[in-house]
Amino acid sequence: MWDGYNYFDTENFRIEIGKILDRLRADTADISKEFPLRELKNQLTGGSLSALSSHWRSQGIVRSGTRLRGKKSTMLHDEGHVLWEKEEWRLIRNKEENRFQELLKDMQNLALEPLTNIVLNAEDDYLSDKSLKLICIFEGGSSVDLLIDFLQNVEVNHHRKMSVVEEMVKIGGEKFVDPLLRVLDLEEIEIPGTGELLGLKIIRALGSIGSEKAVEPLLNLFERKNQTNGYGSVASALGCIGDKRAVEPLIEALSDESCKCKGDVVKALGLLNDKRAVEPLIGALDDEMWYVRSVAVKSLTSIGGSKVKAALVDYDYRDIKYGGSYKPSS
């Protein structure tokens, strides 16, 4: 019953992908690799079933408006002639799709070596970032070990490591926490520059992952109050993790007049949702910075309670609405 159908030419597909990979392996300028990288993504990612659809169209099987998965049609037609009944076509289609997905995985595995080489050695950070994202698309959750290796590789520059951290956050999970903490411990985040940016990126990533394993190291970092740039990010991360051990250190920071990130601290206390923070947050309603006052209202509202209600009942919200520019008439 399938005599009229020619299966997708897997060998030719392999040859075409091989040519693209050869262009990526070639010792040429980075700019010459941008197009083959884009072509590789189009061929080997989720939308690549279009290659299979093109094959079907080339045989006159799939035409504009044909409903292969529809419920109304019981037969597949080509110019008025019945090719296969729907059940027969479903068997052909499923077999083709399974073969094609296996082929894609084989080609993705072959692409890892040249893509990894670009991540490590390309002069262009943009090209490196694109290759890294493509590796993560191909490997999914299996890219964990590779990402950890990239992060700990001393030859990978800070910009690329920041991209690695972003991909770690997308995948998530506690498996990344220890490697992130090890790298954070090596970074001198108090020094302005790329090292500081990587440190801040890691701190935010730890907050997004939300593992309690990161609480103690972050609290230790939080006590280094001279790190003004990293201070607010650490407070935010502690709030996102939600561990109550952070409440007292955050309250202490809020009472420190030298604290330059009170907005982040106030927001973190709201996320922790602990009654111990109510009195300090009520005090923050009179802070000289309108943004701190605004966040204090939101944090108090999220905590709730009779004491909060009493504090907010007569609060003049016009000061927040106008960004601190409102001045009551005398």
Q: What is the pLDDT of residues 147-165, one digit of tens each?
A: 999 999 988 998 999 999 9
In a domain, 78, yes or no: yes
Query: What is the reported pLDDT for 82?
Result: 46
- Report pLDDT for 75: 44
Digit-coded pLDDT (tens) for 56-93: 666 655 544 444 444 444 444 444 444 555 667 677 77
pLDDT value at residue 55: 72
- Evaluate whether residue 116 is within a structural domain: yes
Phi first, then psi, for residue 242 (nearest 5°) are 85, 20
Which structural domain range is residue 6 located in? Answer: 1-63+74-139
- Residue 166 inside a domain? The answer is no
In a domain, 157, yes or no: no
Task: Please report whether residue 224 resides in a domain.
Answer: no
Question: Which pair of tokens denotes residue 265?
Answer: 């601290």
Domain membership of residue 153 (yes or no) is no
Q: By the 8 A CB rule, do 233 and 201 touch?
A: no
Number of domains in the chain: 1
Q: Amino acid identity of 263?
A: G
Contacts of 265 (CB under 8 A, 6+ apart): 232, 235, 250, 253, 254, 259
Residues 239-257 have pLDDT tens digits of 999 999 999 999 999 988 7
Q: Return the minimum-mean-pLDDT range out of 46-50, 134-138, 163-167, 218-222.
A: 46-50
Amino acid at 61: I
Report if residue 14 sits inside a domain: yes
The reply to whether 98 falls in a domain is yes
pLDDT-derived band at 260 (thresholds 50, 70, 90) equals confident
